[in-house]
Structure 1
Amino acid sequence: MGIDIRKAAPADAVSACNLLRRSIEQVCEPDHRGRPEVLDTWLANKTPDNVAAWFASPTNHAIVAEQGGQLLGLALLTQAGKLALCYVEPGALRVGVGRALLAAVEAQAREWNIRKLALHSPASCATFYERHGYANAGLEKSCFGLECSLMWKQLDADPQDFDAKRKRFCNCSD
């Protein structure tokens, strides 16, 4: 059975919020190490009402990953080119959920003509993004007090567009 990616709806907010909180608490435990001053701040805005508002915002592209009707992950891209959320259910790591979410977000960014994506990644997740072509620009303090890697990726234009432009400006032959 494959992983289905679909647009997130405000009705997904409660289950998505619970997934976010579990992922932060469990998957990101090596980063926050259970420190309340970091964990409580990180989780503070992860409420069903906030998640529903994020999903409903016309300037966001929010998606969820499902398998057999079970929510396994979610991602949120802003029109400013920021990957604001990309979280996977702790029990669904390393089965392609994150990869599928990232591919869908990058496809949407290209549709919006966004050529560069950026995100803040906790140390425990940075290698995932690096494996998918993101460069690590170094550490920055996140809004919730955790040192995170600033990650970015230059998205290539559609290869057909590149070939058409190259032929238009160059008289060389293939």
Structure 2
Amino acid sequence: MNIKVRPATADDAADVCRVIRKSILECCYEDHRGDVKVIQGWLSNKTHEVLRRFILAPDAFSVIASVDKATVGFGLASGTGEVALCYVAPSVRFTGVGKALLAAIEDHAVRSGVEALRLKSTRTAKAFYLRNGFVPEGSPVFAFGIEGLPMRKGLSARG
């Protein structure tokens, strides 16, 4: 599989929206348990317009992953190292797409002088983040009716 990762543009918002929504609906059952109210809350800000604003935010770094020119993943982090979104299409789960997104975010963060990446992991993604060097940091938090586990990964400058 030839995974290509590049910075996201506003024109990617519709494809990004489809990937995120499908990932939440199909991959994150452990988190939402099929609860319609929880799913609606989680998806409430996953619209083309909101994602376009996220991509264009001046302090954001966002990337998309594609395979055969089809968008299959999206990652978004702030300039301070907060990873806000990292989703892959169900069809490419466990193929290295998520790892490629994280690597691009990490490389950008290191070049920007960020000392650590932080995020709030879902139950579904916890093992993925642990495999990629993140460690739990603090008590769980709740948003959109789901539990988020704060995690951190220290970064070192690369020469």
Q: Report the TM range for the smaller structure's normalisation.
A: over 0.9
Cα distance in 2, alignment partners of residues 51 and 31 from structure 1: 22
Deviations 1:113-141 (A, max 9, x none): 00111101111110100011100125422
- Measure how far apart 1:143 and its partner are: 2.4
If you compute each CA radius of gyration, which structure gives the higher value, 1 or 2?
A: 1
Q: How much does 1:38 deviate?
A: 1.6
- Where does residue 172 of structure 1 map in the other structure? none
Distance in 2 between residues matched to 1:132 and 1:141, nearest whole Å? 21
Moved over 6 A (4+): none
SS of 2:137's equivalent?
strand
CA offset digits 1:28-53 (Å, max 9, x no partner): 11111111232111100000000111
Q: Give the TM-score, by structure 1 length.
A: 0.87
What's the counterpart of residue 140 of structure 1? 140
The aligned residue for residue 60 of structure 1 is 60
The sequence identity of aligned pairs, in percent, is 36
CA distance in 1, matches of 2:74, 2:147: 23
Amino acid in structure 1 at the alignment position of 2:66:
E
Is 1:15 the counterpart of 2:15? The answer is: yes
- SS of aligned partner of 1:5: strand
Deviations 1:134-174 (A, max 9, x none): 0012542232121121111010122x4xxxxxxxxxxxxxx
Q: Which runs of 5+ in 1 are unaligned?
A: 161-174
Higher relative contact order (CA 8 A, sep 6+): 2
Matches within 5 A, 1:49-128: 49-128=49-128
TM-score, reference length from structure 2: 0.95
Note the residue ranges of structure 2 that are not aligned, 5 or more in a row. Answer: none
CA contact 1:76–1:85 (8 Å) conserved in 2: yes
Could you tell me which amino acid in structure 1 is paired with residue 76 of structure 2?
L
> How many angstroms does 1:80 deviate by?
1.9
User: Cα offset for 1:94?
Assistant: 0.9
Letter in 1 for 2:22: R
Indicate conservation of the 8 Å contact 1:139/1:147, yes or no.
no
Distance in 2, matches of 1:16 and 1:89, equals 10
Q: Can you list the C-alpha shifts for 1:53-80, whole angstroms capped at 9, x where unaligned? A: 1111121001000111011100001012
